Amino acid sequence: MRAVRRWSTLPPELLVLTALSFLTRGWRLFTPGEIVWDELHFEFFASRYFNGAFYFDVHPPLGKLLFAAEAWLLRVPGQQLIDAVSAPQLRLLPALAGALIIPTFWYFLRELGANRRVALFGATLLLLDNALLVLSRFVLMDSMLTWFGLAAVTAFLAARRHDGRSRFAWLAAAALLGGAAASVKWTGLTALGLMGFVWLVDLWRERPVRVTRRLAELLVLVAVPAAVYLGSFAVHFALLPNEGMGTHEMSPAFAATRVGNPAYKPGNTMPFVDEVVDLHHAMTRVNLMWATDSNPGASKWYTWPISKHPVAMWTDDHANGDRNWILLQGNPVLWWGILVGLALFVVALALRRTTVGAHRDVLLFLLAGYVMNFVPFAFITRPMYLYHYFFGLLYSLALATFATASLAGWHGADDDAPWRFPSRWSRGAWLGVIALVAVSFVYFAPLSYGTRLSPEALWHRRWILERH
């Protein structure tokens, strides 16, 4: 009965939003029933944990370990993965993570002080993004990375509202999730960086400083992510004791510890710390080597906010000219609309609007999050892709949501009466923006789900995408 009461206290719009999130991510999830884009790589990596053959990847191992665990739980034959035969059931984990991003974003906005209608506005817009939808539907790590990072920051914000044991429980959850994000891809470190930045600001503002509590918090925020990160490597090495295709990237001393390597001798070992250092040297070296590579799907960092360079992930041509096409492409109305919202934010600051000033700390926090997740890519020379912008998308959308809500008067609502807008214009703006983004989402959805299109229907969508 207690669980039933807890569910009954959840806002109905959150339940609807969550249901729609699972529906959109799960619809036709196993179609196409063949390998799509980089699914080939991640199924291959997961297969290595079944035969113990060492592999090399430039990313930390947690994401691949989760795919291997999923394959084991779902009884996917290891040989199927080794033979590069599509295992679409592995899409369940990315779809789950992708579906959780939407309600987590709602909670993220609420922790920042948004009322129910503002939180619903921002989360609904994120629900209607085509790019996030696409990368949540295939055996790729980006939806897991995004959810871990977003959930970590949300838990950290929740911790700031609590004291005592509950505060440390939320901090531990934030540290655990932040460590998981960093253990999927190094770009997940930005979640920990943002949490650390806010923690330092809070420490600087605190008078008097509660030294014991702050030292305990620092220990949690450092030790827990480090344990998760190093733990993922410990499991990784333990499950890959044999010679494999990846040992050539490692040092001769490391290679000699893999069973089946020509230099292997029984009893050859390497301390765990040395193994971690050796692998990180290789990961860094290969990342730097990629600086001279090129890829037709790659794009410059400054083109991401307008989703300038879509990535074709899968295509199937038919004799009559029809085509099924899956395209990694942001919802143009949403992505371009975010830029409009950010422009309104700048104008409001210039005009010193008090409604914006009332949320100064929140807006500065979101701006810091956006800068941390976007500007560093300007200094990376290796090929990069649209999906590298997902964290930046979250923070820019939240920033645009708060700025627009301040200008439209959406913030001044009682949560007990969230749908009482201050004016018809305010209500019309709220509904109108969502409607425009929804129409764009539906229009481009065939390119997200791989629906068969005639040449004319495909041309109309490509014409729009290729003219910006």
Q: Is residue 217 part of a domain?
A: no
Q: Identify the segments of the chain with pLDDT beneath 70.
A: 1-8, 352-358, 413-414, 463-468
pLDDT of residue 358: 66
**pLDDT for res 254:** 95
> Looking at the domain assignment, is residue 208 inside a domain?
no
Please give the pLDDT value at position 67. 96
What does the alpha-carbon distance between residue 393 and residue 341 come to, in Å, rounded to a whole number?
Answer: 13
173 assigned to some structural domain = no
Distances, alpha carbon 221 to alpha carbons 200, 340, 369, in Å: 12, 36, 18
Our CA angle for 151, 304, 185, nearest 5°, is 40
Predicted pLDDT of residue 416: 73
CA distance 310 to 465: 8
Evaluate whether residue 168 is within a structural domain. no
pLDDT at position 5: 41
- DSSP per-residue codes, 244-261: -TTGGGS-HHHHTTSBT-
Tell me whether residue 116 is in a domain. Answer: yes
Q: What is the pLDDT of residue 352?
A: 66
The per-residue pLDDT for 357 is: 63
Which position has the token pair 């890829």? 295
**Domain membership flag for residue 153:** no
The tens digit of pLDDT for each residue in 142-179 reads 999 999 999 999 999 999 998 889 999 999 999 999 99
The pTM score is: 0.93
312 inside domain: yes
* Per-residue confidence (pLDDT) for residue 182, from 0 to 100: 98
- Contact call for residues 111 and 157 (beta carbons, < 8 A): yes
Question: Domain count of the chain?
Answer: 1
What is the residue range of 431's domain?
A: 11-34+97-138+300-468
Q: Is residue 5 part of a domain?
A: no
Cα distance between residue 314 and residue 36, in whole Å: 6
Burial 294-315 (b: 16+ CB within 10 A, else e): eeeeebebeebbebbbbbebbe
